[in-house]
Structure 1
Amino acid sequence: MNPKERRLLDELERALAEGGLRLAYQPKVATADGSLVRVEALVRWAHPALGAVPPARFVPLAEDHGLIDDLTQWALRTALRQWREWHAQGLDTDVAVNISAVSLEQLDFPDLVERLCRALDVPTERLVLELTEGATQPLIKLMDTLTRFRIKGVGLAIDDFGTGYSGLIQLRKLPFTEIKIDRQFVTGLATSRDDQVIVRSVIDLAHGLGLLVTAEGVETVEQLAALRALGCDLVQGYLLAHPLEAHELVAWASRHKRRWKLLIRPPEDPYLRQRLEANG
């Protein structure tokens, strides 16, 4: 490890110990009626000198140097505690947490997650663990671990689906409950026939296997309309909401109920439509 990486890893460990990390939460809503179904917990690190450090930079460091379990457990505890607060406020939602395949190598990880849920009085059915599609190849070796999660009621989602080729093969072997269509296929959905064919095929395949489908990266009303027409179950993206601070979610949910009617029947005026999309 070079000195720069060593320093960043040390600072990440310090941030974990001293409360330097936080979670933001991005809503996922049902295409049928716009109702809030789930929020995805996203780790944020505001470094005092470097500014916002993206997870793509610090998560691999944590994976390679023995810090990923601490990071994962912190994220789970924080998200589950926050779920309990929302629940007390009358907000009904599930919560999704991104985990590393490295954590799944710990044989007692499903039991640990179950204990955390029990200790914080969160039903395991309200938790979904998200894994990137690129992790599915080693995950096939961890079938027992994944199956134990499903037995305990915890949902499992493949994130960034479509960015690799292994997912189609693995879907019928691994006990996933949800797939997330990668944003690269959503971006051109309203204008690209190829993207429409791919997304339709993924949705039909997933539904045939009894899986829920989420499209990420939704930013325009045209994309939303296309996904609703194709039968996608859930959507998330800047059109609906940017990642929110925990205390913002209740107010967002109230505003969103009114705004949803405009999103599915947007104004004809281009200026008003642009303002509508910008207010996610």
Structure 2
Amino acid sequence: MTIAQQDRTASAPHGFDVEVASGLQRYSVQHGELTLTSVFQPIFSLSHMRAVGYEGLLRAHDALDRAVSPLDVFGEAARLGDVLQVDRLAQTLHLENFKVLGAEREWLFLNVHPGALTDPYHSAALLASLKRLDVPPRRIVLEVLEQSAEDLERLADAVRQFRERGFLIALDDFGAGHSNVERIWQLNPDIVKLDRIMLSHAAHRADMATILPGLVALLHEAGKLVLIEGVETEHEAQMALACNADFVQGFFFGRPNPGAVDPVHAVACIGELTERYRDQAEARERRNASRLAPYLRAFERAAERLAAGEPLEEVCWNFLALDHAARCFLLDAKGRQAGRNVVLRADRAAHETRFLPLADAQGANWLRRPYFRDAINAPERVHVTRPYLSINEALPCVTLSVATRVGEQTCVLCGDIDWVDEERF
């Protein structure tokens, strides 16, 4: 052990032991019959292509050196009414090991029980540990664990005070249990960690895959950075890229380890992932362009015939005869619909009876819709929306639109295409 290591050991809390293996110093502590120590799972910024933080995770072994689940450790502590003491012990252990990890600018993500924030004794102990180790609060991200809090106002006030001291706040396990949108308004976190279950659902369900990017966008609108945890496969990593997440964490990028991450490996991993994502995105755009081509040709021809004075009911037949064409309709210069939707197939009309109150759109105002605004702002060219939920049948759809002159009036011709089988990832 070096002199510096001896000095560090001397300054560690009473009862902490130190071991050196493969040149790596590591602290441990006894808790009953268990030996507790730390590992750190890296948290990566996809844009920076490097680790920006580490989450401290507890590891436990019994007297026979058999691994004991951290859930069992905290479960037993909760049964004995000792959970805050074990929580504080884990925090101190992670701080000790983080100090010798060699991370010079990265954050340490610390899981904290809500009671450890609201209890003056436990919060003071955390601050004292940071001062002793000379770790500034700005290096610490406090992860507020997912569970009910008896006094949310008190917790929110404690979180505010920690933030004022320079700590960052993360809301853990968002989308599971008690962590929901209400918690965001109450605790005002800097970072929201999306629970693994949301990513798992999105990887296997098209509707959830559609929701995930919107959820990330909503959190960004609320001023929150987004971390997706539990990324285990290439497919899930691609989904994290596609939904514009800020940070990622999971076995695909890095497993929990006593030491720091290899920066060269991180750059290579994320760089290769980004290249594959770009290739897949370009291929998807080519497929979509090919898929849209016959609809665009038929729609452009319909617009030409409409401008030439032919009635709407006749110009749309070629467009509506295509497999996934849903309807055509005509708007005036103020976004109001002139006449009913033009629908070709009887099966389409029968399906829409479930949404009968919405079937008659004559006089409806679509001023807010992007397809209307885009067409008015750039007339005489066909615009294509991104997939969105159609109000007609509550199904994903893409709308083509073009502003053209019909007699003396400016009108916007619109055509909807069902997009239920779009490949998103």
- Residue 9 (structure 2) aligns with: none
Q: Which runs of 5+ in 1 are unaligned?
A: 1-13, 268-280
Q: How does 1:150-165 map to 2 (within 5 A)?
A: 150-164=163-177
Residue of 138, 163, 184 corresponding to 1:125: 138
Answering whether residue 156 of structure 2 is matched by residue 143 of structure 1, we say yes
Partner deviation per Cα, 1:78-124 (whole Å, 9 max, x = no partner):
222333323xx464311111121232341243333222211111010
- Residue 45 (structure 2) aligns with: 30
Residue of 82, 88, 96 corresponding to 1:73: 88
> For 1:228 and 1:186, how far apart are their aligned partners in 2?
12
> For 1:90 and 1:237, how far apart are their aligned partners in 2?
19
Larger radius of gyration: 2
Normalised by the length of structure 2, the TM-score is 0.54
Normalised by the length of structure 1, the TM-score is 0.79
- Residue 262 (structure 1) aligns with: 272
Q: How does 1:168-179 map to 2 (within 5 A)?
A: 168-179=181-192
Shift of residue 149, structure 1, vs aligned partner = 0.9
SS at match of 1:22: strand
- Residue 253 (structure 1) aligns with: 263
> For 1:111 and 1:207, how far apart are their aligned partners in 2?
33
RMSD: 2.5
> For 1:125 and 1:41, how far apart are their aligned partners in 2?
16
* More RCO (CA 8 Å, sep 6+): 1
Residues 204, 73 of structure 1: CA spacing in aligned structure 2 closer, same or farther, 3 A cutoff? same
Residues 99, 75 of structure 1: CA spacing in aligned structure 2 closer, same or farther, 3 A cutoff? same
Q: Which has the higher helix share?
A: 1
Q: Which has the higher strand share?
A: 2
> For 1:201 and 1:173, how far apart are their aligned partners in 2?
21
**Farther off after superposition, 16-25 or 208-217:** 16-25
Residues 63, 201 of structure 1: CA spacing in aligned structure 2 closer, same or farther, 3 A cutoff? farther
- Residue 181 (structure 1) aligns with: 194
Partner deviation per Cα, 1:153-191 (whole Å, 9 max, x = no partner):
112212111013652112112132111111112124345
SS at match of 1:147: helix
> For 2:70 and 2:267, how far apart are their aligned partners in 1?
31
> For 1:26 and 1:39, how far apart are their aligned partners in 2?
5
> For 1:262 and 1:129, how far apart are their aligned partners in 2?
31
SS at match of 2:120: coil
Identical-residue share of aligned pairs (%): 26
Shift of residue 235, structure 1, vs aligned partner = 0.4
> For 2:187 and 2:253, how far apart are their aligned partners in 1?
30
